[in-house]
Amino acid sequence: MNLIIGISGASGALYGKSFLKHLVTHQPGASALIISDAALKVYNQEYGTKITSREEYLEQVLEQTGNTVHSFTLYHPSDYAARPASGSARYDAMVIVPCSMKTLAGIRHGLASSLMERAADVCLKEKRPLILVPRETPFNEFQLENMHALSRAGVVIAPASPGFYQHPRNLEDLGRFMTGRIFNLLKIEHSLFQPWEGLS
Ligand SMILES: Cc1cc2nc3c(=O)[nH]c(=O)nc-3n(C[C@H](O)[C@H](O)[C@H](O)COP(=O)(O)O)c2cc1C
């Protein structure tokens, strides 16, 4: 499976980290990875780190992962000539996790003002699956409208709102839950959480 993965500057760096960590051990393939400047800032804020490059981010995020079956090619968000900018490059789907309101608005309005937005634009025109994991609270009217318009255009809006009926014990469990839900959408086999079997 070849994905385009966007990590943008919404809060919830752990969701992006969890997705990459589990993808690398669950699903063979090679994905394009686009990390915004704001995503690095938010990661540093939330993990108390001082990461300055995308390479360093990837190294930290993937440290201590087991058997790696998936690789990543890093692309700078201003590299408009990169492979994910063209519909002629074949990818199976795109996921932005977490997705900021800014990037979400840019996709809705077709701005293509970064490689991440351009790649999402391409996914839409090529009718490829596009999954956005937004994080904000509360939402303003424009943000709700943007999500509604994107959903009508076939985009999956999968908010970063993990369920608590699985009794998460720590932040890692919250990440596993969201990653599992994205894996379900991508049809990637996993055992990141027990599927709900009903109460009776
Ligand atoms: C610590 C921190 C937390 C943030 N949390 C959010 C958030 O939860 N949702 C959001 O849409 N933007 C959030 N922002 C603002 C975005 O980072 C900002 O709009 C940025 O321009 C997004 O750029 P990007 O979409 O290119 O990553 C946050 C910023 C910081 C510094």
Using a pLDDT cut of 90, give the percent of the chain over it: 95
Asked if the model's pLDDT at residue 200 lies above 90, the reply is: no
pLDDT of residue 66: 83
Q: Angle 118-114-123 (CA atoms, 0-180°, nearest 5)?
A: 20
**Which residue among 100, 103, 107, 178 is best mutated to probe the pocket of ligand 1, counting the most ligand atoms within 8 A of its Cβ?**
100
Residue 194 lies in a domain: no
Residue 103 lies in a domain: yes
Residue 195 lies in a domain: no
Asked if the model's pLDDT at residue 153 lies above 90, the reply is: yes
| Average confidence score pLDDT of the chain | 97
* Cα–Cα distance for residue pair 87/58, rounded to 1 Å: 26
Ligand 1 pocket check for 5: Cβ under 6 Å:
no
Pair 36, 42: CB distance under 8 Å: no
Higher local confidence (pLDDT), 42 or 199: 42
Reported pTM = 0.98
Q: Which atom of ligand 1 is nearest to the CA of 8?
A: 27
* Cα–Cα distance for residue pair 121/85, rounded to 1 Å: 9
Residue 118 lies in a domain: no
Our count of domains for the chain comes to 1
Ligand 1 pocket check for 117: Cβ under 6 Å:
no
pLDDT of residue 73: 98
Over the stretch 156-186, which tens digit does the pLDDT of each residue have? 999 999 999 989 999 999 999 999 999 999 9
pLDDT of residue 154: 98
pLDDT of residue 64: 87
Ligand 1 pocket check for 16: Cβ under 6 Å:
no
Residue 95 lies in a domain: yes
Residue 73 lies in a domain: yes
Domain extent, residue 71, equals 3-112+129-186
Over the stretch 67-104, which tens digit does the pLDDT of each residue have? 899 999 999 999 999 999 999 999 999 999 999 999 99
Alpha carbon nearest to ligand 1 atom 28, residue: 10
How far is the CA of 81 from the CAs of 14, 76, 123, 180, 190, in angstroms?
Answer: 29, 10, 16, 32, 35
What is the mean pLDDT of the segment spanning 139-149? Answer: 98
Residue 123 lies in a domain: no
Ligand 1 pocket check for 135: Cβ under 6 Å:
yes
* Cα–Cα distance for residue pair 140/114, rounded to 1 Å: 23
**Which residue among 14, 41, 42, 144 is best mutated to probe the pocket of ligand 1, counting the most ligand atoms within 8 A of its Cβ?**
42
98: domain CATH number is 3.40.50.1950
Alpha carbon nearest to ligand 1 atom 26, residue: 36
**Which residue among 7, 11, 114 is best mutated to probe the pocket of ligand 1, counting the most ligand atoms within 8 A of its Cβ?**
11
What is the mean pLDDT of the segment spanning 55-74? Answer: 94
Q: Which atom of ligand 1 is nearest to the CA of 39?
A: 27
pLDDT of residue 67: 87
Q: Which residues pair with 59 in a beta bridge?
A: none
Residue 142 lies in a domain: yes
* Cα–Cα distance for residue pair 36/9, rounded to 1 Å: 7
